[in-house]
Structure 1
Protein backbone atom coordinates (compact mmCIF):
# COMPACT_ATOMS: atom_id res chain seq x y z
CA UNK A 1 0.00 0.00 0.00
CA UNK A 2 2.83 2.43 0.80
CA UNK A 3 4.19 2.27 -2.75
CA UNK A 4 0.75 2.82 -4.26
CA UNK A 5 0.10 5.79 -1.99
CA UNK A 6 3.40 7.36 -2.93
CA UNK A 7 2.77 6.68 -6.63
CA UNK A 8 -0.72 8.22 -6.76
CA UNK A 9 0.26 11.16 -4.52
CA UNK A 10 3.27 11.89 -6.74
CA UNK A 11 1.18 11.61 -9.91
CA UNK A 12 -1.40 13.93 -8.40
CA UNK A 13 1.28 16.46 -7.44
CA UNK A 14 2.77 16.35 -10.94
CA UNK A 15 -0.67 16.85 -12.47
CA UNK A 16 -1.47 19.78 -10.16
CA UNK A 17 1.85 21.51 -10.80
CA UNK A 18 1.34 21.14 -14.54
CA UNK A 19 -2.16 22.62 -14.37
CA UNK A 20 -1.08 25.41 -12.00
CA UNK A 21 2.12 26.41 -13.80
CA UNK A 22 1.38 25.56 -17.45
CA UNK A 23 -2.25 24.86 -18.32
CA UNK A 24 -4.06 27.71 -16.57
CA UNK A 25 -1.51 30.38 -17.56
CA UNK A 26 -1.86 29.23 -21.18
CA UNK A 27 -5.65 29.34 -20.90
CA UNK A 28 -5.41 32.87 -19.53
CA UNK A 29 -3.48 33.92 -22.66
CA UNK A 30 -6.33 32.94 -25.01
CA UNK A 31 -7.87 35.93 -26.72
CA UNK A 32 -11.60 36.65 -26.65
CA UNK A 33 -12.10 35.55 -30.26
CA UNK A 34 -10.77 32.05 -29.48
CA UNK A 35 -12.06 31.68 -25.91
CA UNK A 36 -15.13 29.51 -26.42
CA UNK A 37 -13.29 27.03 -28.63
CA UNK A 38 -10.16 26.93 -26.44
CA UNK A 39 -12.05 26.46 -23.18
CA UNK A 40 -14.24 23.74 -24.68
CA UNK A 41 -11.13 21.94 -25.98
CA UNK A 42 -9.44 22.29 -22.58
CA UNK A 43 -12.48 20.88 -20.78
CA UNK A 44 -12.78 17.98 -23.22
CA UNK A 45 -9.09 17.09 -22.91
CA UNK A 46 -8.62 17.56 -19.16
CA UNK A 47 -11.68 15.63 -17.98
CA UNK A 48 -10.30 12.13 -18.68
CA UNK A 49 -6.96 13.09 -17.13
CA UNK A 50 -8.71 14.30 -13.98
CA UNK A 51 -10.44 10.92 -13.79
CA UNK A 52 -7.17 9.06 -14.31
CA UNK A 53 -5.57 10.98 -11.45
CA UNK A 54 -8.41 11.48 -8.97
CA UNK A 55 -10.09 8.07 -9.05
CA UNK A 56 -6.94 6.13 -8.06
CA UNK A 57 -6.05 8.87 -5.57
CA UNK A 58 -9.38 8.58 -3.76
CA UNK A 59 -9.31 4.77 -3.85
CA UNK A 60 -5.76 4.50 -2.52
CA UNK A 61 -6.39 7.13 0.17
CA UNK A 62 -9.39 5.08 1.31
CA UNK A 63 -7.25 1.94 1.28
CA UNK A 64 -4.55 3.70 3.30
CA UNK A 65 -7.07 4.90 5.88
CA UNK A 66 -8.23 1.31 6.39
CA UNK A 67 -4.78 -0.34 6.19
CA UNK A 68 -2.71 2.20 8.16
CA UNK A 69 -5.11 4.07 10.46
CA UNK A 70 -2.51 4.52 13.20
CA UNK A 71 0.08 6.19 10.95
CA UNK A 72 -0.01 10.00 11.12
CA UNK A 73 1.27 10.12 7.54
CA UNK A 74 -1.92 8.41 6.40
CA UNK A 75 -4.05 11.22 7.81
CA UNK A 76 -1.75 13.92 6.46
CA UNK A 77 -2.10 12.32 3.01
CA UNK A 78 -5.87 11.97 3.39
CA UNK A 79 -6.22 15.60 4.53
CA UNK A 80 -4.21 16.87 1.56
CA UNK A 81 -6.07 14.68 -0.89
CA UNK A 82 -9.45 15.72 0.48
CA UNK A 83 -8.45 19.38 0.30
CA UNK A 84 -7.61 19.00 -3.39
CA UNK A 85 -10.62 16.87 -4.30
CA UNK A 86 -12.99 19.01 -2.24
CA UNK A 87 -11.71 22.23 -3.80
CA UNK A 88 -12.14 20.70 -7.24
CA UNK A 89 -15.74 19.73 -6.53
CA UNK A 90 -16.75 22.86 -4.63
CA UNK A 91 -14.89 25.56 -6.56
CA UNK A 92 -12.94 24.58 -9.68
CA UNK A 93 -15.59 22.52 -11.46
CA UNK A 94 -18.38 25.09 -10.92
CA UNK A 95 -16.08 27.93 -12.02
CA UNK A 96 -15.22 26.02 -15.19
CA UNK A 97 -18.94 25.63 -15.78
CA UNK A 98 -19.43 29.38 -15.47
CA UNK A 99 -16.38 30.07 -17.66
CA UNK A 100 -17.86 28.09 -20.52
CA UNK A 101 -20.60 30.70 -20.98
CA UNK A 102 -19.09 33.79 -19.32
CA UNK A 103 -18.81 36.98 -21.25
CA UNK A 104 -15.48 38.70 -21.64
CA UNK A 105 -16.39 41.11 -18.82
CA UNK A 106 -16.59 38.26 -16.25
CA UNK A 107 -13.83 36.01 -17.59
CA UNK A 108 -10.88 37.65 -15.79
CA UNK A 109 -12.56 37.48 -12.38
CA UNK A 110 -13.53 33.83 -12.92
CA UNK A 111 -9.99 32.97 -14.05
CA UNK A 112 -8.63 34.67 -10.93
CA UNK A 113 -10.95 32.57 -8.77
CA UNK A 114 -9.94 29.43 -10.66
CA UNK A 115 -6.25 30.27 -10.18
CA UNK A 116 -6.76 30.74 -6.42
CA UNK A 117 -8.63 27.45 -6.22
CA UNK A 118 -5.87 25.73 -8.13
CA UNK A 119 -3.25 27.03 -5.70
CA UNK A 120 -5.29 25.47 -2.88
CA UNK A 121 -5.44 22.20 -4.84
CA UNK A 122 -1.67 22.32 -5.36
CA UNK A 123 -1.12 22.85 -1.62
CA UNK A 124 -3.39 19.86 -1.03
CA UNK A 125 -1.33 17.78 -3.45
CA UNK A 126 1.90 18.79 -1.68
CA UNK A 127 0.42 17.91 1.73
CA UNK A 128 -0.82 14.58 0.34
CA UNK A 129 2.65 13.77 -1.01
CA UNK A 130 4.31 14.69 2.29
CA UNK A 131 1.89 12.33 4.05
CA UNK A 132 2.68 9.58 1.57
CA UNK A 133 6.40 10.09 2.18
CA UNK A 134 5.82 9.87 5.95
CA UNK A 135 3.98 6.58 5.49
CA UNK A 136 6.77 5.24 3.26
CA UNK A 137 9.51 6.02 5.81
Structure 2
Protein backbone atom coordinates (compact mmCIF):
# COMPACT_ATOMS: atom_id res chain seq x y z
CA UNK A 1 0.00 0.00 0.00
CA UNK A 2 2.86 2.40 0.78
CA UNK A 3 4.22 2.00 -2.74
CA UNK A 4 0.84 2.92 -4.21
CA UNK A 5 0.54 6.01 -2.01
CA UNK A 6 4.07 7.17 -2.89
CA UNK A 7 3.34 6.55 -6.56
CA UNK A 8 0.14 8.60 -6.37
CA UNK A 9 1.87 11.44 -4.54
CA UNK A 10 4.65 11.57 -7.14
CA UNK A 11 2.29 11.47 -10.11
CA UNK A 12 0.00 14.11 -8.60
CA UNK A 13 2.96 16.33 -7.70
CA UNK A 14 4.28 16.11 -11.25
CA UNK A 15 0.86 16.81 -12.78
CA UNK A 16 0.46 19.86 -10.53
CA UNK A 17 3.94 21.01 -11.44
CA UNK A 18 3.23 20.56 -15.16
CA UNK A 19 -0.06 22.49 -15.05
CA UNK A 20 1.67 25.28 -13.10
CA UNK A 21 4.38 25.52 -15.73
CA UNK A 22 1.79 25.48 -18.52
CA UNK A 23 -0.59 27.96 -16.91
CA UNK A 24 1.79 30.32 -15.11
CA UNK A 25 5.43 29.97 -16.11
CA UNK A 26 5.24 29.67 -19.90
CA UNK A 27 2.71 32.49 -20.40
CA UNK A 28 5.19 34.80 -18.66
CA UNK A 29 7.77 34.10 -21.36
CA UNK A 30 6.02 36.57 -23.65
CA UNK A 31 6.53 39.36 -21.09
CA UNK A 32 10.33 39.13 -21.18
CA UNK A 33 12.05 41.74 -23.40
CA UNK A 34 13.62 40.14 -26.49
CA UNK A 35 17.16 41.23 -25.57
CA UNK A 36 16.88 39.59 -22.14
CA UNK A 37 15.07 36.45 -23.25
CA UNK A 38 18.03 34.14 -24.01
CA UNK A 39 19.47 34.62 -20.51
CA UNK A 40 15.99 34.30 -18.99
CA UNK A 41 15.39 31.01 -20.84
CA UNK A 42 18.76 29.57 -19.85
CA UNK A 43 18.06 30.49 -16.21
CA UNK A 44 14.64 28.84 -16.49
CA UNK A 45 16.28 25.64 -17.75
CA UNK A 46 18.84 25.63 -14.91
CA UNK A 47 16.21 26.25 -12.24
CA UNK A 48 13.53 23.87 -13.49
CA UNK A 49 15.78 20.82 -13.83
CA UNK A 50 16.32 20.21 -10.09
CA UNK A 51 12.56 20.47 -9.56
CA UNK A 52 11.41 18.17 -12.36
CA UNK A 53 14.31 15.70 -12.22
CA UNK A 54 13.38 14.11 -8.88
CA UNK A 55 9.71 13.92 -9.92
CA UNK A 56 10.66 12.09 -13.12
CA UNK A 57 13.07 9.81 -11.27
CA UNK A 58 10.58 9.01 -8.51
CA UNK A 59 7.82 8.19 -10.97
CA UNK A 60 10.24 6.09 -12.97
CA UNK A 61 11.22 4.09 -9.91
CA UNK A 62 7.67 3.52 -8.67
CA UNK A 63 6.39 2.68 -12.15
CA UNK A 64 9.18 0.18 -12.80
CA UNK A 65 8.69 -1.30 -9.34
CA UNK A 66 4.98 -1.78 -10.01
CA UNK A 67 5.73 -3.34 -13.39
CA UNK A 68 8.47 -5.64 -12.09
CA UNK A 69 7.05 -6.64 -8.71
CA UNK A 70 3.37 -5.77 -8.73
CA UNK A 71 1.97 -6.45 -5.26
CA UNK A 72 -0.73 -9.07 -4.95
CA UNK A 73 -4.17 -7.64 -5.63
CA UNK A 74 -2.84 -4.73 -7.69
CA UNK A 75 -4.38 -4.88 -11.19
CA UNK A 76 -2.07 -4.70 -14.19
CA UNK A 77 -4.18 -2.43 -16.44
CA UNK A 78 -3.83 0.79 -14.41
CA UNK A 79 -0.11 0.09 -13.97
CA UNK A 80 0.23 -0.17 -17.76
CA UNK A 81 -1.89 2.94 -18.32
CA UNK A 82 0.24 4.91 -15.85
CA UNK A 83 3.43 3.60 -17.44
CA UNK A 84 2.19 4.63 -20.88
CA UNK A 85 1.36 8.12 -19.58
CA UNK A 86 4.83 8.47 -18.09
CA UNK A 87 6.38 7.25 -21.35
CA UNK A 88 4.42 9.92 -23.25
CA UNK A 89 5.58 12.64 -20.85
CA UNK A 90 9.21 11.54 -20.97
CA UNK A 91 9.17 11.08 -24.74
CA UNK A 92 7.64 14.48 -25.38
CA UNK A 93 10.06 16.07 -22.95
CA UNK A 94 13.18 14.56 -24.45
CA UNK A 95 12.20 14.62 -28.10
CA UNK A 96 10.30 17.91 -28.32
CA UNK A 97 10.28 20.13 -25.22
CA UNK A 98 14.02 20.07 -24.54
CA UNK A 99 14.97 20.91 -28.16
CA UNK A 100 12.35 23.68 -28.19
CA UNK A 101 13.83 25.13 -25.00
CA UNK A 102 17.27 25.01 -26.59
CA UNK A 103 15.90 26.91 -29.58
CA UNK A 104 14.30 29.47 -27.29
CA UNK A 105 17.63 29.79 -25.46
CA UNK A 106 18.99 31.36 -28.65
CA UNK A 107 16.21 33.96 -28.66
CA UNK A 108 12.45 34.14 -28.44
CA UNK A 109 10.78 32.56 -31.45
CA UNK A 110 6.99 32.74 -31.82
CA UNK A 111 6.80 29.44 -33.71
CA UNK A 112 8.97 27.53 -31.23
CA UNK A 113 7.02 29.01 -28.35
CA UNK A 114 3.66 28.01 -29.88
CA UNK A 115 4.96 24.45 -30.41
CA UNK A 116 6.23 24.35 -26.82
CA UNK A 117 2.78 25.33 -25.55
CA UNK A 118 1.15 22.55 -27.60
CA UNK A 119 3.69 19.97 -26.43
CA UNK A 120 3.31 21.11 -22.85
CA UNK A 121 -0.47 20.86 -22.97
CA UNK A 122 -0.15 17.23 -24.05
CA UNK A 123 2.40 16.60 -21.29
CA UNK A 124 0.05 18.10 -18.71
CA UNK A 125 -2.87 16.00 -19.97
CA UNK A 126 -0.75 12.82 -19.97
CA UNK A 127 0.47 13.62 -16.46
CA UNK A 128 -3.12 14.10 -15.31
CA UNK A 129 -4.13 10.80 -16.86
CA UNK A 130 -1.20 9.17 -15.05
CA UNK A 131 -2.49 10.60 -11.79
CA UNK A 132 -5.94 9.17 -12.51
CA UNK A 133 -4.33 5.77 -13.16
CA UNK A 134 -2.39 6.01 -9.88
CA UNK A 135 -5.56 6.90 -7.96
CA UNK A 136 -7.33 4.01 -9.69
CA UNK A 137 -4.59 1.68 -8.45
CA UNK A 138 -5.01 2.85 -4.90
CA UNK A 139 -8.80 2.69 -4.99
CA UNK A 140 -9.04 -0.83 -6.41
CA UNK A 141 -6.23 -2.20 -4.27
CA UNK A 142 -7.27 -0.69 -0.94
Shorter-chain TM-score above 0.5 = yes
**Structure 1 position 78 matched with structure 2 position 83:** yes
Rounded Cα–Cα distance in structure 2 between residues aligned with 1:41 and 1:67: 39
- Aligned to 2:34, what secondary structure does the other structure show? coil
Question: Paired residue for 2:50?
Answer: 48
Query: In the superposition, relative to structure 1, how do residues 62 and 71 fare at CA in structure 2: closer, same or farther (>3 Å)?
Result: same
TM-score of the superposed pair, with normalisation by structure 1: 0.91
**Cα deviations by residue, 1:82-113 (Å, 9 ceiling, x for unpaired):** 111110011000111111114x5xx0100001
Q: Counterparts in 2 of 1:1-137, with a 5 A limit?
A: 1-68=3-70, 70-102=75-107, 104=108, 107-137=109-139
> Where in structure 2 are there 5+ consecutive unaligned residues?
none
Deviation of 1:6 (Å): 0.4
Deviation of 1:71 (Å): 2.4
**Cα deviations by residue, 1:13-53 (Å, 9 ceiling, x for unpaired):** 11101111111111222121221221121111111112121
**Cα deviations by residue, 1:32-85 (Å, 9 ceiling, x for unpaired):** 122122112111111111212111111111111123374211111111111111
- Aligned to 1:101, what secondary structure does the other structure show? coil
Rounded Cα–Cα distance in structure 2 between residues aligned with 1:109 and 1:38: 18
